Amino acid sequence: MGDFKGKTVWIVGASSGIGAALAAELDRRGAKLVLTARRGDELAAVNRSLGDRHCIIPADVADEKALAGVADNIGSMDSAIFMAAVYTPTMLEDMDIGTARQTVEVNIMGALNFINAVYGPMRAQKHGQIVLCGSVAGYCGLPTGQPYGATKAAVINLAESLRVEAAVHGIDVRVINPGFVRTPLTAKNNFEMPMIMEPEDAARTLADGLLGKQFEIRFPVKFTRLVRFLSRLPYPLFFKISSGMLEKRANARRG
């Protein structure tokens, strides 16, 4: 895509955070949006802030038939962007298995349901863009980051596989790996978040990246490079550094 003007873009997870900010940014750039999230009232509020110019279709990403129905309702689309996610920071020893199951259901199965909904139609039209939101949390296993980090590692892996398979059908696949962005999800953290971005800045960077040529769109650049470097260290050094992070986070939890 050369630009977003007149393009049909489906954003799943558009009711808050980066998804809502991206909706505002793409609206400013002239896109025709379809906005989906589980919370219909929040979706309606986002659309009102954009002048009620766009289509809102509530759906739960855990419901494969509902997502497929939305895709059928949209018809031809230029870009489909999966931003939905849940996150509960915890030590593994304190993990609630029900919460962990929901994290897997939304972050991984939701992404698979989304791909299942859009891949067939895009193959038929022989063009389109599929975008999955991972995270730098998926680069490596860090303290208090599970099971969220594990699900985001899976999303990155999924996007890498899909990129190769989809290319032969003329479909462009991208992965987004944000660092810390000020959203309702990161508001759950009680530790210092280096180089945290505002969602509007993240949305501008993301929109520019979707028009570029790079498979991975990551921001802020300095922080994401740092985490990528950390993930490539020899394990003894990596575990020594992550142990220091654990101590800092434990101190933060104790107040």
Catalytic residues: 148
Q: Calculate ∠ Cα 54-113-5, nearest 5°.
A: 30
Q: What radius of gyration, in Å, describes the C-alpha atoms of the chain?
A: 18
Burial class (CB in 10 A: 0-12, 13-18, 19+), 14: buried
Strand order in the sheet with 171-178: 55-56, 32-36, 8-12, 79-82, 128-133, 171-178, 216-219
Burial class (CB in 10 A: 0-12, 13-18, 19+), 67: buried
Picking from 91, 150, 141, 153, the residue whose alpha carbon sits closest to that of residue 241 is 141
Any bridge partners for residue 128, and if so which? 171
